[in-house]
Amino acid sequence: MAAKTERTFIAVKPDGVQRGLIGEIVKRFEQKGFRLVAMKFLQASEDLLKQHYIDLKDRPFYPGLVKYMSSGPVAAMVWEGLNVVKTGRVMLGETNPADSKPGTIRGDFCIEVGRNIIHGSDSVDSANKEISLWFKPEELQSYNRHPRVCVFCFVLF
């Protein structure tokens, strides 16, 4: 399938915030070339988180997951760019940090599945649902990042 410009919902979870990893995570998405579309810092309600994780409602870890996610502030973001949903997931690593390769966010910064520091949408559909759950349309910014030009061939990248 052709690569497409998409948006994804990324959140630094309460443990990531406690560990001081917001800047590191923003840096990785920014330096990769994705565009920040929205960002807010909030302690999410259990209702919001139950909705966010509704697909997991029958899993045994669901109540604990909702409690953990509502235990402190999270940094909620929307990032945009070519194939950002899939590439974002690659940058995160696997759900279980033990299966995540070094170089990925979970591979580099955590060890437990129940404390895996970051959320990222797993499909374009869930990204759209999550973005509208966490953000109002007017909170999403539209702009262009300053283009970089190859000095040899003048191609924008």
For 13-139, list the strands marked E by DSSP: 35-42, 74-82, 118-120
Query: Would you say 28 is a known binding-site residue?
Result: no
* CA 101 vs CA 96, 98, 109, 110, 155: distances in Å: 10, 8, 11, 11, 33
Helix axis angle, 22-32 relative to 84-92, nearest 10°? 140
Catalytic residue list contains 119: yes
Cα gap 78→124, rounded to integer Å: 12
Residue 8 is labelled as binding a ligand: no
Binding mask 97-136 for ligand ADP (x = CB under 6 A): ----------------xx-x--x--x--------------
**Gap between the Cα atoms of 84 and 130, Å rounded:** 15
Q: Which of 23, 32, 61, 63 binds ligand ADP (CB under 6 A)?
A: 61
Q: According to CB under 6 A, which one of 11, 25, 38, 65 is a site residue for ligand ADP?
A: 65
108 binds, among ligand ADP, Mg ion, none (CB under 5 to 8 A by kind): none
Residues identified as active-site: 119
**Residues forming the site for Mg ion (CB under 5 A):** 122
Contact set with ligand ADP (CB under 6 A): 56, 61, 65, 95, 113-114, 116, 119, 122
